[in-house]
Amino acid sequence: MAVSARKLVQGNAAKVASVPAPVGGWNARDSLANMAVTDAVTLTNMFPSISNVVLRGGYTKHSTGITGQVETLMSYAGGATNALFACAVSSIYDVTAGGAVGAAVVTGLTNARWSYTNVATTAANYIYAANGVDAPLLYNGTTWTSITGVSVPAITGVTTTTLTGVILFKNRVWFIEKNTLKAWYLPTSAVGGAAQQLDLSSVAGRGGYIVAIGTWTVDAGYGVDDNLVFVTNKGEVIVYRGSDPASASTWALMGVYSTGAPVGDRCLLKYAGDLLLISLDGLIPLSQAIQSARVDATVALTDKIQGAFVEAVRTYKSNFGWQIVFSAENDALWVNVPISVGSAQQQYVMNTITKAWCNFTGWAANCWETYRDAAYFGSDGFVGLSWSNTYSDNATAIQTNALQAFNYYDARGVKKYFTRARPSIFTTGSPAIFVGMNVDFSTDDVSAALVFNSTTSSLWDTARWSTDLWGSGSVISNTWLGITGLGYCGGINLQSSSIGLPIEWASTDVVYQTGWAGI
């Protein structure tokens, strides 16, 4: 028989509980009934910092006027000279200065999906780029040169239009030959010359082809050394150590390991002393993946969001745009998830200090690059500067949604009647914030508006001294708000919409009354 909320709580004193904001981050692994109270079922566009949960930074359009989707960004670091280039459709644009771009610096290309590396020799500082279709491109700080068998410089011994996956390892430029198990390397400290082949056919037992190549710093007990890592589309990781593949005394196969198949060809990122890999097993540090990832999924950095990550990989693994990004400036690392090119990409974002996760929407990124310590992304016709302190996405509101873990408030099996909530919010103005209580694992929108008292500040050299009010930093709002919810457990739902205003969520006080067990 149904019991009304009024009858349920008659004679019971109200109780107050204080719940910390979900600094534990997004949890897409554990049962809804068994999460830590500092976790969140949903945490969108809110970043779990060390002590509170904050609105993510917004983005601004750094460069505009580009024709088509930007699918590669390349950062040139030539001594004291820095530059940023964007590749879209069949052209490359110089986007260093920002604003509306001028004419393309390179045209007539087949596609915009390039790999690249910076190379320094005694002659110059270069970008070396390859895409497996066009001739590789060499940029010397002034001029872009297509590298063929007869160009200056030239690469001989291989058809250069088959080369991709360019990387620098121990003073040698290395390439992958597209859709094969062959790698090619140039002479030491050179950007041209006779390319030599390293054929992995005899060690890649599963066959397939090389997807990505990276460097991995390992301390194997006799000193730190860099290893060269090849990842095949079948999930084999092949590791070599040494400097000269032509010399048996200085080159050795360290091992062949099995992981989940890689996702995308930008699936590797050197991170601290490790190498991260996006695979069917999640985002995994290679040092642990080659030992146990196939039998112990908890080694993945994405372990806590494994349910969502696996579902995203299963659904979107064929889409272009998977990439790992590290932003030291924001203590964040994220995986770009290409749900729909040009509009609906997401980022699964991890706090590198606490390892807590969240997800971002609103950054329609096809590719990423770090330039002058800031994270830039390529999108439809523009290059965006992300995580800006404008707290808006190109002058539009950032929408957030957080559903905190369901909490039994120390009384499982007892119904509660939730009546009021008081979130502690730090901000500098009056953003739109909504708070509600979801009960018994419901994810419906039950939020109501939280009203802020407007603050007035004055302008320097205009206001009257000792009379007008001066502005201050963030102030706290902790106004009680009426809510409604009847159930055994409750999850705090906080949503917001903000243009230009920061939001920091510290905790939420909740008032509720209890019935008795079984009702």
Kind of pairing between the strands at 58-64 and 99-100: parallel
User: What average pLDDT score do residues 474-490 get?
Assistant: 89
Q: Where is average pLDDT lowest: 2-11, 456-465, 491-500?
A: 456-465
Q: What is the pLDDT of residue 519?
A: 53
Percent of the chain surpassing pLDDT 70: 88
Structure tokens at 15: 């109780």
What does the pLDDT read at residue 287? Answer: 84
How many domains does the chain divide into?
A: 1
Residue 467 has pLDDT above 70, yes or no: no
What band does 473 get if pLDDT is binned at 50, 70 and 90?
low
pLDDT score, position 340:
81
Higher pLDDT pick, 350 / 448: 350
- Rounded to an integer, the average pLDDT of 266-284 is 93
- What was the pLDDT predicted at 474? 77
pLDDT for position 455: 39
**CATH number for position 479:** 2.60.120
Which percentage of the chain shows pLDDT scores above 90?
79
Instruction: List, in order, residues 6 or more apart from 4 with CB less than 8 Å away.
Output: none
pLDDT at residue 241, rounded to an integer: 93
Q: Is residue 283 part of a domain?
A: no
Distance of alpha carbon 7 from alpha carbon 19, whole angstroms: 27
Using CA atoms, how far apart are residues 215 and 224, in angstroms rounded to an integer? 13
177 domain-assigned: no
Q: How confident is the model at residue 103 (pLDDT cuts 50, 70, 90)?
A: very high
Please report which confidence band the pLDDT of residue 272 belongs to, taking 50, 70 and 90 as the band edges: confident
Q: What is the pLDDT of residue 452?
A: 45
Q: Round the average pLDDT of the chain to a whole number and report it.
A: 90
Task: Report d(CA 237, CA 201) in Å as an integer.
Answer: 13
In a domain, 478, yes or no: yes
Q: Domain limits at 415? A: 5-55+401-517
Q: 383: Cβ–Cβ under 8 A, 6 or more apart, which residues?
A: 61, 62, 63, 66, 70, 73, 84, 86, 95, 376, 377
Question: pLDDT tens digits for 104-145?
Answer: 999 999 999 999 999 999 999 999 999 999 999 999 999 999
- Determine the pLDDT at residue 10: 56
For residue 136, whether the previous peptide bond is cis, meaning omega lies within 30 degrees of 0, is no
Q: Residue 245: what residue type?
A: P
pLDDT digits 0-9 by tens, 279-335: 998 999 988 877 654 556 678 999 999 999 999 999 999 999 999 999 999 999 999
451-464 per-position pLDDT tens digit: 544 333 444 444 45
Rounded distance, CA 114 to CA 120, Å?
19
428 in a structural domain: yes
Which of the two residues, 99 and 7, has the higher pLDDT score? 99
Tell whether 163 is covered by a domain. Answer: no
Say if residue 356's pLDDT is above 50: yes
Q: Which span out of 8-12, 192-196, 336-340 was modeled with the highest average pLDDT? A: 192-196
Query: What's the rounded Cα separation, in Å, for the pair 473 and 283?
Result: 38
pLDDT tens column, 203-249: 999 999 999 999 998 765 555 688 999 999 999 999 999 999 999 89
141-180: pLDDT as tens digits: 999 999 999 999 999 999 999 999 999 999 999 999 999 9
Residue 413 to residue 433: CA distance in whole angstroms: 31
Model confidence pLDDT, tens digit, residues 391-419: 999 999 999 999 999 999 999 999 999 99
Q: Report the pLDDT value the prediction gives residue 332, as an integer from 0 to 100.
A: 98
Round to whole Å and give the CA distance between 392 and 192. Answer: 46
Q: Flag whether pLDDT at 199 surpasses 60.
A: yes
Whether residue 329 is contained in a domain is answered as: no
